[in-house]
Structure 1
């Protein structure tokens, strides 16, 4: 993404982009959200690109795990929804026929696979930018998110989790606040289009079935998952210092993303005021606050 950002900042629509995902066996919910959001903007910007899921354009060399991922990205994540009237096949090397072929070949369904089993996810959602809005309009825009909240409730019940999103808390408080913040501060998108979007998704990482006899195995899995899929700065959240072990608990991940330049521009302006002697060396730097 860093390489894409640096190149796109200079060349934008003067180049054709290729994303080769044929060797990728698993993507986190956040990675799916970032990639799909970029694809959405490239479509809206009428910039040529191609995404490759197949090895050498064929399904013959695809292993089951990659086949499952393709099926889930199509059926659960619903990546085809980013298109309008454009042909999906012009941008991606998969389509419904190929997905059905993989489904029959590997006997796949929507309740199995890397994405759905490990992360109960909701479909990719994009929300449009609007100039004038009130509570009624915001609620209408978030109608689909209300349905996401219901889907999340079902997943949480399935895993015997607490219910933090009862009474549409997700839509009426968290999402509404983030969406209004996006609308208040959206300026110019990083992408050359008149359309501005914000994107969101939910995923649940369920706890591992536990008993006293397999705690060492569970701790080994949790440690490996943390090292492979998280950041060292987050360890305090996942690790119990008192018991000196990783917490085995279900975690609900809520991701919210936009590509507006407002915050970045503000940070850069503030940085140039505080450190004027360094601004020339960092004028092309993207400053990100976590």
Structure 2
């Protein structure tokens, strides 16, 4: 028996199993601490099953999977689907891996601290060079830590939703290494760009967000078999948001330099990674 991969919940696993049944591929699900494992019995089916899993992960709502459930579904199969808040929490935790979650909770903790009376102390420690007195190049962490601060609820919700959605997708499909590179590089270079475009008073994960947006989109275009992609409509929305940032229509300060810098970092990394995969 061979495990070909995992899906985040039992509903998705059963839909995929029903689809494989129509292809004469025997598969069953096993519970893991994170998600549901998919086990096939015939080694000769491994390559096809893995390819089908990539396609399913990219578009689980395709009508062919619904039809397969109607045609091949086994009404005797029972799963404990969980419900309510517990089920939502489980899907949140099993849909992403360590770096995505750690970053998510660090940003939330910093935001909470800034709204519980520690805003000045946190800003003094994490802001960019020159934002506060006695901050200089010897405090090297300041080139990165502004990315972890957020100044409004809308600011942090917008950034963390994109980070969870795309960062989690990159980490679960490609591993932690490409996401860690994007996180570190897009958390630093865009900050430098923003500093030279405006001043040292800025913060937020938006540079990293635009990096994972650009990376996910271009990897999906150049290497669709890698298992990550971004719908064109989502990419279009982010480009419109980028352009609107240069106007006064949004009614809030926008870190346009960080957005552009992050997008370029993500696109460059996707070009490198997709070329590497195509030659390997």
Instruction: Specify the TM-score bucket, using the shorter chain as the normaliser.
Output: under 0.3
Higher strand proportion: 1
Higher relative contact order (CA 8 A, sep 6+): 1
- TM-score, normalisation: structure 1: 0.22
- TM-score, normalisation: structure 2: 0.22
Higher helix proportion: 2
